[in-house]
Amino acid sequence: MNRFLKSILKCSALTLALALLFVPIGITSGAFQRKSSPQLKRVDELFARNCARCHGGDGRGDTPLGHLYNSPDFTDSAWWQKNSRITSTKSLRSIITRGKAGMPAFGKKLSASDIKQLVRRVREFRPKS
């Protein structure tokens, strides 16, 4: 392997390691706080485990992997308006299940109920009009 490729691989591994280290901090100290219940806790854990590496604990997509994959800012009302064709519950469920662009498919990893809860969680980031 040439030196340039080794350097790229090391940089990528370091970026991923740093992203994994900082995701829990963003989730616990984020500005978005919700009342706790067992179901909300479960949804938050699902989001943290499967989505936050790219989308951030606060839904802004401001993570190293979020920048790499151009993750959307779910808290941006302009994003919701511009992407209205893909933000319906049905479309979001399909994207989580089948994946899209750089986002992996979660249909074989998560249950239909888990995916439904994640869609609700993503929609909670949408600013209230």
Q: Which domains does the chain have, with CATH numbers?
A: 3-124 (1.10.760.10)
- Cβ atoms of residues 83 and 123 within 8 Å: no
Q: DSSP secondary structure string, 29-66?
A: H-S------HHHHHHHHHHHHHTHHHH-TTSS--SHHH
Q: Mean pLDDT throughout 13-29?
A: 47
* Predicted local distance difference test score (pLDDT) of residue 40: 87
* Predicted local distance difference test score (pLDDT) of residue 3: 67
Statement: residue 117 has pLDDT above 60: yes
What residue type is 116 in one-letter code? K
Helices (H), 57-104: 64-69, 77-82, 89-98
Q: What's the predicted TM-score (pTM) here?
A: 0.70
